[in-house]
Chain A
Amino acid sequence: MSWFIVHFAQIVFYFLAACTVAGAIGVVGFRSPVNAALSLLGTFMAVAGLFVLMHAEFLAAVQILVYAGGVMVLFLFVIMLVRVRTIPEEPQYLRSLAPAALGVGGLLAVLVGAGLWAAAQAPLANPAALRQVQGLTLGNTEAVGWSLYRDYLLPFEIVSIVLLVAMIGAIVMGRKEPGKEGGA
C-alpha cells in the first residue's frame, strides 16, 4: 500500500502518457472522422492531466477551455456539416509514403533522444524558482502572467499580431461577394 502512495504520481503519469499516445494513434488510425476527432479530444484531455501533474494548473485549464471546448467543437461542426460517415474504401497511397515516414520518425527519435540525453546531463532545474518574481513566491497563474506580460511582452504582442493577420485573412477569404446569391 505504501508503495502505491509513494509511486502514485508516476502511476498517474504513465496512465496519462498511455492515454495521450493511444489517442494520437486513434487520430490517424480510425476511418470514421468523428472517431478520429474524439481520439484527438482524448489526447487533449490527457495532456491537460499531464499539465496538472507538473503543477501547471493554469495551462491545464486553458488547454481544456481552448482546445477541447473551442477548437475541437469547430472541428466536429465541420465534420458533421460535411457529413462523411466513413471514408469510402478506395486505394490508399500510403505505401509510397513509407520512406518519408521512416525518415521523419528516425529524425524525431534522434531529436527526442538528444533532448533526453541533454536533460540527463544538466542538473534538475528548481521548479520553485519559476514562481519567484522579485523575491515573491506567486501562484501558477500569476507567474505565467508576470513572465508573459513583463519578460516576454514583445514576442507575445508579435504573436497576437500574427494571429490577427490570420484572422483577417480568413474573414476576407470567407466573405461572399456582394450582390451574389446568398450574401450577408
Chain B
Amino acid sequence: MGNPWIAFLVVPLVKIVVILLVVILMAAYLSYFERKILAYMQIRIGPNRVGPRGWLQPIADALKLFVKEDIIPSRAEKFVYIVAPALITAPALVVFSVIPFGADTTFFGLLKQPIPPYLTDINIGILFILGVSSVGVYGVILGGWASNNKFSLMGGLRSAAQLVSYEVPMGFSVIAVLLMAGSLSMVKFVEAQKQAGVWFIFPGIVAFFIYFVCGIAETNRNPFDLPEAESELVAGFHTEYSGMKWAFYFLAEYANMVVISSVATVLVLGGWLRPFPNVAALAFLDVIPPFIWFAAKVGFFLFCYIWFRGTFPRYRFDQLMALGWKVLLPVSLANLLVVALGVLLMGGAR
C-alpha cells in the first residue's frame, strides 16, 4: 500500500464495481427465486426452460429487455419521463456504499493486510440511508406524472402518500435501536451488538416489527403494493414504461428490497455476527465467514418478502393509511419511550 493512489482510488473503485455487480445480479436472481418460490407455494413448477432448472432465466429476461422497443407516450413530459427511472435506481444503489457486509478480512489470506469489505463507514450511516432512500420516491411520483396516464398518476400519488406516511414510524423504530447502540454509524451498530453479547432483536422486537412492516410498505411490496395494484391500476406508476426504463424500475424495487433487508440485518440481527457472539460454546460457528452470516440473514428477510407476497391479500388504501398513522406511529412512539427508559435505567447512554 505504498502508493496512495492505490489506497484512495483503486481499492474503492474495485469495491464499487464489485458491490454494483453483486447487487444487480442479486436483483436479477431475486426475480428468479421469487417466481420459483411463488410457483412452489402455488404447486406449480415455475420457470424451468432456460438453462438447467431455469437458472439462466434472469439473463434471458435482461437480454430481452435490452432489445425491446423503447416507447415514449406522445404527450408525455419527455425529459422527466426519461430521468424518472434513474431517479429511483440511483439512490437504491448509492445506499450500498455504507452497508457493512462483514468484518475486516484478508479474503482467505489473499491480501497481506485485512481490509474492510464495505466501501466506507460514515458517522451518520443510518441517517444517510434514510435520507438517500427517501429521495427514491421522486422516481415513482415523477414517472407516474410524466407518463400522462391516469393509472400512472394515481399510482404515483398513492406512492407519495404511502412513502411519506410510512417513513415516520420507520424513523422512530430506527431511533429506538439507535438508543441501544449509541451511534449512527452502521459498523458501530454491529460492534455495539457484539459488546452487548446479544442481537438487538431481543430487546428491540417491537422496533424490528415496525421497521420491517414499514420497509415492506416503502418498497411497494405486497401486501402494501397499492402504487402498482394490477387489479385496479393496470401497473400503476410504470404502466407506460417499457424496455430498459421499465427494467430500471424493476431493478430499483429489488435493490430496495435488498437494502431494507440489509439494514434490518445490521440494526437488529447482528450484521455479520454469529448468534450469541460472546458465548464460547458456540465458537465452532466461527468457521463460517462473517459475510456468509450476513448473506444468510439478508436471504432470510428476502424469503420473507416473497413469502408475504404468496400469503397476504392486498390492503385497501384507507386501511393502509389507518394502519400507518393510527397503529404503527403510536406504537413506535410508545416503544421509543419504553426503550429510552430501559437504556437510561441500564446506564447505557451517557
Contacts and interface: CB of A to CB of B under 8 A. Distances in A.
Interface of A: 32, 34, 38, 41, 57-58, 60-62, 64-65, 68-70, 72-74, 76-77, 80-81, 139-141
A62 B127 contact: yes
B257 to A, nearest CB: 19
B142 to A, nearest CB: 7
Contact of A57 (B124, B144, B153): B124
Contact of B134 (A58, A70, A139): A70
Interface residues of B, number: 27
Contact of B131 (A65, A73, A139): A65
Contacts of B123: 57, 139-141
A13 B130 CA distance: 25
Given A74-B164, A80-B157, A141-B184, 13 more contacts: A34-B77, A38-B142, A58-B127, A61-B127, A70-B134, A70-B167, A73-B137, A73-B163, A77-B141, A77-B157, A140-B123, A140-B124, A141-B124
B160 A77 contact: yes
**Chain B contact residues: helix, strand, loop or mixed:** helix
Nearest to B163: A73
A76 B160 CA distance: 9
A49 to B, nearest CB: 12
B138 interface: yes
B346 to A, nearest CB: 20
**Chain A contact residues: helix, strand, loop or mixed:** helix
Contacts of B134: 64-65, 68-70
A57 B98 CA distance: 14
A61 B137 CA distance: 16
B156 interface: yes
Nearest to A77: B160
A34 B80 CA distance: 9
Interface of B: 77, 80, 122-124, 127-128, 130-132, 134-135, 137-138, 141-142, 144-145, 153, 156-157, 160-161, 163-164, 167, 184
A34 B143 CA distance: 12
Contacts of A65: 127, 130-131, 134
Considering residues B80, B123, B130, B131, which has the most beta carbons from chain A within 10 angstroms of its beta carbon?
A: B131
Nearest to A139: B123
Considering residues B157, B163, B184, which has the most beta carbons from chain A within 10 angstroms of its beta carbon?
A: B184
Given A57-B122, A141-B124, A64 B132 contact: yes
A151 to B, nearest CB: 16
The 4 residue pairs across chains A and B that have the minimum distance between CB atoms: A69-B134, A61-B127, A64-B131, A65-B131
Contacts of B153: 80
A41 B87 CA distance: 12
A77 B127 contact: no
10 contacts: A34-B77, A34-B145, A38-B80, A41-B138, A65-B134, A68-B131, A68-B134, A73-B137, A73-B164, A80-B141
Contacts of A58: 124, 127
A69 B167 CA distance: 9
Contacts of A140: 123-124
Given A34-B77, A76-B141, A77-B141, A69 B131 contact: yes
Contacts of B141: 73, 76-77, 80
Nearest to B122: A57
B221 to A, nearest CB: 20
Considering residues A57, A73, A80, which has the most beta carbons from chain B within 10 angstroms of its beta carbon?
A: A73
Contacts of B167: 69-70
Contacts of B161: 77
B137 A69 contact: yes
Contact of A69 (B135, B156, B184): B135
A77 B123 CA distance: 33
A72 B164 CA distance: 11
B4 to A, nearest CB: 10
Contacts of A61: 124, 127-128, 130-131
Nearest to A71: B164
B145 A80 contact: yes
Contacts of A60: 124
B318 to A, nearest CB: 10
A57 B160 CA distance: 26
B280 to A, nearest CB: 33
A74 B138 CA distance: 11
Contacts of A77: 141, 157, 160-161
A98 to B, nearest CB: 31
Nearest to B136: A69
A81 B154 CA distance: 10
A76 B184 CA distance: 30
